[in-house]
Amino acid sequence: MIPIQGVEGKAIGVLGLGRSGLAAVRALQAGGAEVLVWDDSLDARSRAEADGITVAELGRDKVMERLSLLVVSPGIPHLYPAPNPVIAAAYAAGVPVDNDIGLFFRSFASREWDKYETAPRVVAVTGSNGKSTTSALIHHVLETAGRDVQLAGNIGRGVLDIDPAGDGSVVVLELSSYQTELARALTPDVAVFTNLSPDHLDRHAGMGGYFAAKRRLFSEGGPDRAVIGVDEAEGRYLAGQMSEGPSDDRVIRVSVAGKLGGPGWAVFARKGYLSEYRKGRQVGSIDLREIKGLPGAHNHQNACCAYAVCRSLGLAPRVIEEGLRSYPGLPHRSQVVAEANGVVFVNDSKATNVDSALRALQAFKNVRWICGGLEKDGGLEALRGAAGSVRKAYVIGREAAAFAMQLAPEAEVCGTMAQAVARAIEDAEPGDVILLAPAAASFDQYDNFEQRGDDFVAQISRILES
C-alpha cells in the first residue's frame, strides 16, 4: 500500500466504492485522514459500514463543508455529459476534486528514497488502443531482465495497492482518459502515447476533449522522456509540443505506418521488422513476424512502444528481444484460444471500438468475424476497409440486425454468442480464423468485455469437446 501524504487529521470524502475507491480509502486512512464515503449502491454502502468505514451523504452541505478533498472513482463523470451531483456540490463549495492517480503521484516518493543508489521510476501508458498490451509488455520485458517491477492502474493491481518502491524499481501504469483527465498530479518519468481514435466521446464532449484528457499526462508534470506514436495528427502534434528540436532525444517517435527519418530517436516497424534509429543511424532491429503473442501491425506498434521504453530504461536490444519472444499475450487481446481442424480461434473481446476491431481484422486473413454489441458513437464506416480479410460476419447483440446492415461483408444475424460460434464453426474451412472482435461495448449482453470473451471461449470448448 502507498499511504497518502499530507492528509493527517483532514476529512477526505471518497465517492465510489469500487476497486480504486476502496484502495483510496485504505491509503487515506493509512495517512491519518478521517475518511467519509458514499456510493449510490446500497450494497456497497452496507459493505463499507460492515468494514467500519464511515458512510455519509457527501453532497449535503454540512458534510461537504467539512471536507478538504473529494476523491472520485474514474467511472463517475465530473464534467461531461453532466457532473455527478456530489461533484457539482464540491465545485460549488470550493472543495478540490482528485482521483487515486493524483493521490499516487503526490505520495509515491518517500524519504526512504534518499538511501537508494537508483531512484525508482514510473512509466505511464495512455492512448486509445494498445495500452494494456504495451503496459504488460514493458512489465514482462523488465521482469524477464531481472528488474524489480510492478504493474498497476487499469491492469494488474490498484495503483494505491502496490508495494512501496525499492532501490531502482519500476512501476508501470496503464492509464485511461478517465484517470488522466482529473488527476491533480501527473509526474511519470516516462510517458507513452500509443495512438488516438474515437472513443468515450460523450464523456469528453468530442475528440478535442478526449485528446486533451490524454495530453494531460504529458503537459501536467513534464516527463523526462516521452514515447509517442506519430501515425495520427494528434501524435505528431504532441511530439512537436514535447520536443525542443529534431535532434531532441527526450522524445522517441514510434510508427508502424512507415520509416521515420531525421536526427532524433525513433522506433518503427515495417513489414514485420522493428528498427531503432538514433542520430540517423540504425542501432537495433528485431524480426517480429514469428512472435505468436504479437500478431499484426497493431501489436507491432505495441512492441515498438515497449521497446522504446525499455531502451530508455537502459536495457540492451537483445535483452528486450528475449522478453518480446517469451511474451505470452493477454487474455481477450488477440489471444489464440484454440486450434482445430486447421481453424484458429482468436479472442479479441477487448476490441470494443471500431479502430481496435479494424486493427484485429487487419492482423489475420480468411476471417470469420464475430462482432456486435452496444454500438458506440461514430458508426462502423471505417470497418469497410477491412472487408477483404473477412469471409463472413456473424453478428451478436440486442441490435444485431441494425449492426449487420452497416457491414460490407456478408453478415448473418445470430444474436447470441452460442449461435454465432456454432454457425462460424459450421462454415469454417482449413486456413480460416474465427475471430471475436466486437467493435462494440459489451453491456447490452454482458457485464464487461472479459465476460464476453470467456463466453466465446466456453462456446468453442463446448462444441469442440462434444
Known binding site for ATP: residues?
127-133
- The dihedral through the CA atoms of 240, 244, 245, 247 has a sign that is negative
254 closest CA partner among 270, 245, 244: 270
How far is residue 109's CA from residue 121's CA, in Å, rounded to a whole number? 10
126 closest CA partner among 56, 66, 194, 172: 194
The Cβ-side half-sphere exposure at 385, using a 13 Å CA radius, reads 9
Which single residue is written with the C-alpha cell 528498427?
275
How far is residue 326's CA from residue 317's CA, in Å, rounded to a whole number? 15
Amino acid at 2: I
Q: Which residues pair with 281 in a beta bridge?
A: 278
Contact 101, 73 (CB under 8 A): no
What would you report as the CA-atom Rg of the chain, rounded to the nearest whole angstrom? 23
Q: Give the CA angle between residues 30, 36, 38 to the nearest 5°.
A: 125
Contact 118, 203 (CB under 8 A): no
Q: Annotated binding site, which residues? A: 127-133
Q: Which helix (H) or strand (E) holds 47?
A: helix 42-50
How far is residue 332's CA from residue 367's CA, in Å, rounded to a whole number? 17
Contact 303, 329 (CB under 8 A): no
- The dihedral through the CA atoms of 439, 336, 135, 152 has a sign that is positive
Q: Are strands 121-126 and 367-371 parallel, antiparallel or unpaired?
A: unpaired
How far is residue 233's CA from residue 294's CA, in Å, rounded to a whole number? 25
State how far Cα 27 lies from the chain centre: 23
Contact 62, 56 (CB under 8 A): no
Angstrom distances, CA of residue 386 to CA of 256, 354, 358, 390: 17, 11, 6, 7
Angstrom distances, CA of residue 357 to CA of 219, 380, 442: 30, 10, 14
* Cell of residue 466, nine digits: 462434444
How far is residue 326's CA from residue 456's CA, in Å, rounded to a whole number? 25
202 closest CA partner among 359, 81, 370: 81
